[in-house]
Chain A
């Protein structure tokens, strides 16, 4: 273990992984609570069961707050990666609640926001596009001889898209220093992976692009950390695109509307028994890195932090409707529609 990153971590570092996974979970639970309370929150794509993948992968990278570190593009189930990169709970709740103070000023929803200085690029819904875009981020690092990597998360469903293929074709040919994380969580919306592909593992796809790939247990945060760290290291050394496939299970529906009736309860129970947070918690206790009290305190603190951040966001303003006119391009904002001007003047439509 000494040759791996995890083998060199201090106890305080080890506890940080636990904290970030807990933060992810309680933050998502807080969004669910806000919705139950009647606040519009948009879509919530739970990462229950996938927290270790997001946290482990992001913690393997160089995290900086001045725009000089590695860059990641999260998927909609990689909130943990954003937190690991320093994304704040304040921004997290402002975004769900569509606040004017939020990172997209109410223009976008769920995890589609970024923090460029911290190395988080805002992702978009159409699948595969972030692979194309991150290929260009990584290309820039190579062209300018910067010792940085770009990491992109995509669910296994995205691997069927043309954009994923085109982005990877380009990135592989250009030897871009990129880590491609395939979140193999068994489902694309309501369709199982086995119906979407004949492959057993997405590392088989990697062969077709001439890139290296590794498959890891996505519920084991330190295994993910080591795999992504090694992949990032190879990418930094000029070995081009690296794929890491995370094997785990999406334990909630696609979003709130999906009751996941298509999932066998017995299978779900198996994966609940492999819960990444519980699993890591047990390991920390067994290894003597933490006490029950310490870990319970983390849950209490994170829960409180989420409550405070959510309350704060709720107290902040929603955008003026007319803000919808601004920042479409760099040109000055157009006039409001004439029917919105008082008094409406037909000669100045």
Chain B
């Protein structure tokens, strides 16, 4: 094991901007330095450094007791993470692509999520991995998996949109006493435009708190992940071309939902558009709309609308995937409709 921090993980220390992927790496590294109960398991995370190189250099630094290359058995090693958490460790498992979390669905929903409630004890662990489309990855390397787990009491689900949030939220997730599913959009991993200089100090972003990306008065867009940036692009167009003032709420944590932030914004604007990259039916927009109906019905001046991916598996070919995914133009069209309603 080497004592020195690997060169590529010192950007924040040197005051250089980092990508979202680098922010995730820094969070993992710093949490492992801070707390020796934290350890990693996953496929190809050690010798290879992870499919996306999130854990490059970790094996040399922390050794094979804390960076464990596993067989291709997501259920096996996610379940093992639960066992380790029972024994006082704080495991972080990487699902190579979150599409592959399905074999672990059984242990996550039936075992991990219910443990505290059953009196079997809290299970502080994080299940993290890349999600999302736009990379021509096809049906099995592009999915968003949040809604497969959203319906499971006992879990928390986090989905950052910026390097700052990714680092602060991942640290919170690792320190949290509940099991957390942590989704990292692979389209944001290395996006140059998102690079930012992070505080050269230990900071966290609390779970369960949304962030107002931009303030506005006419339409509220509630969104998360990669769609935060598409919504921001749409908001800029709406402002210059239409004079429509858009407020954007980045959920950051999907479970539990920050009702307060959503409702407060809708009460200011009277119009709600939910934008998510996940598919439409059973997407989080339905739940958000119901909560707004329950808590802010009288403040609404227009129907609640959503812009989402279409209900289909994620297609491979570029023309198909672009059609499948929500585009800036879709968001502009929907917001215009709402503003004019």
Give chain A's interface residues, CB within 8 Å of chain B.
71, 103-105, 107-108, 112-114, 116, 121-122, 124-126, 129, 131-141, 143, 150, 162-163, 165-171, 173-174, 327-331, 349
Contact of B110 among A114, A122, A129 (CB under 8 A): A129
Contact of A124 among B114, B116, B154 (CB under 8 A): B114
B73 to A170, Cβ gap below 8 A? Answer: yes
**B125: nearest chain-A partner, CB-CB:** A136
A329 to B154, Cβ gap below 8 A? Answer: yes
Interface string of B66-79 (1 = CB under 8 A from A): 00101101111111
Contacts A137-B86, A169-B71, A330-B177 given; indicate if A163 touches B107 (C-beta within 8 A).
yes
- A165-B75 Cα distance, complex, nearest whole Å: 9
A135 to B79, Cβ gap below 8 A? Answer: yes
- Chain B residues with CB below 8 A from A141, complex form: 87
The A-contacting residues of B in range 31-47, CB under 8 angstroms, are 39
Give the Cβ gap from B123 to chain A, nearest Cβ, in Å: 10
B75 to A136, Cβ gap below 8 A? Answer: no
- A103-B120 Cα distance, complex, nearest whole Å: 9
- Chain B residues with CB below 8 A from A174, complex form: 68, 70, 80
Interface string of B299-341 (1 = CB under 8 A from A): 0000000000000000000000000000000000000000000
With contacts A122-B120, A129-B110 known, what are 10 further pairs, Cβ within 8 A?
A: A116-B86, A132-B82, A133-B111, A135-B83, A136-B82, A137-B86, A139-B80, A165-B73, A166-B74, A170-B73
- A167-B71 Cα distance, complex, nearest whole Å: 10
Contact of B87 among A103, A122, A140, A330 (CB under 8 A): A140
- Chain B residues with CB below 8 A from A121, complex form: 86, 120
Does residue B194 face the partner (Cβ distance < 8 Å to A)? no
Contact of A329 among B75, B116, B118, B121 (CB under 8 A): B116
- Chain B residues with CB below 8 A from A329, complex form: 116, 153-154, 156, 178, 256
Interface centre among A131, A133, A139, A143 (most CB of B within 10 A): A133
Give the Cβ gap from B125 to chain A, nearest Cβ, in Å: 10
Contacts A132-B76, A132-B79 given; indicate if A137 touches B84 (C-beta within 8 A).
yes
- A173-B70 Cα distance, complex, nearest whole Å: 8
- Chain B residues with CB below 8 A from A112, complex form: 118
- A139-B68 Cα distance, complex, nearest whole Å: 11
CB pairs A–B below 8 angstroms (28 shown): A108-B119, A113-B119, A121-B120, A122-B118, A132-B75, A133-B107, A135-B79, A136-B79, A136-B80, A136-B82, A136-B91, A137-B86, A139-B80, A140-B83, A141-B87, A163-B106, A166-B75, A166-B76, A167-B73, A168-B76, A170-B73, A170-B80, A173-B70, A174-B70, A174-B80, A328-B117, A329-B116, A330-B178
- Chain B residues with CB below 8 A from A114, complex form: 119-120
Give the Cβ gap from B174 to chain A, nearest Cβ, in Å: 14
A167 to B79, Cβ gap below 8 A? Answer: yes
Interface centre among B73, B176, B177 (most CB of A within 10 A): B73
- Chain A residues with CB below 8 A from B177, complex form: 330
Contact of B176 among A107, A169, A330 (CB under 8 A): A330
- Chain A residues with CB below 8 A from B114, complex form: 124
B119 to A173, Cβ gap below 8 A? Answer: no
Contacts A136-B84, A329-B178 given; indicate if A129 touches B120 (C-beta within 8 A).
no
- A112-B120 Cα distance, complex, nearest whole Å: 9
Contact of A139 among B84, B106, B116, B178 (CB under 8 A): B84
A132 to B78, Cβ gap below 8 A? Answer: yes
Interface centre among A104, A138, A140 (most CB of B within 10 A): A140
Does residue B172 face the partner (Cβ distance < 8 Å to A)? no
Does residue B295 face the partner (Cβ distance < 8 Å to A)? yes
Contact of B117 among A125, A327, A349 (CB under 8 A): A327
- A71-B120 Cα distance, complex, nearest whole Å: 13
- Chain A residues with CB below 8 A from B75, complex form: 132, 162-163, 166-167
- Chain A residues with CB below 8 A from B74, complex form: 166
The A-contacting residues of B in range 266-288, CB under 8 angstroms, are none
- Chain B residues with CB below 8 A from A135, complex form: 76, 79-80, 83
A132 to B86, Cβ gap below 8 A? Answer: no
- Chain A residues with CB below 8 A from B85, complex form: 136
B84 to A108, Cβ gap below 8 A? Answer: no
The 4 closest A-B pairs by CB, nearest first: A132-B79, A136-B83, A136-B80, A166-B76
Interface string of B111-138 (1 = CB under 8 A from A): 1001011111110000000000000000
- Chain A residues with CB below 8 A from B256, complex form: 329, 331
Does residue B187 face the partner (Cβ distance < 8 Å to A)? no
Give the Cβ gap from B62 to chain A, nearest Cβ, in Å: 12
B71 to A107, Cβ gap below 8 A? Answer: no
Does residue B6 face the partner (Cβ distance < 8 Å to A)? no
**B179: nearest chain-A partner, CB-CB:** A329
- A80-B121 Cα distance, complex, nearest whole Å: 23
- Chain A residues with CB below 8 A from B111, complex form: 124, 126, 129, 133
- Chain A residues with CB below 8 A from B86, complex form: 116, 121, 133, 136-137
- Chain B residues with CB below 8 A from A166, complex form: 73-76, 79, 103
Interface centre among B71, B83, B153 (most CB of A within 10 A): B83
- A200-B153 Cα distance, complex, nearest whole Å: 42
Interface centre among A163, A165, A166 (most CB of B within 10 A): A166
A170 to B77, Cβ gap below 8 A? Answer: yes
- Chain B residues with CB below 8 A from A171, complex form: 76, 80
**A326: nearest chain-B partner, CB-CB:** B117
Interface centre among A125, A136, A162 (most CB of B within 10 A): A136
- A18-B87 Cα distance, complex, nearest whole Å: 32
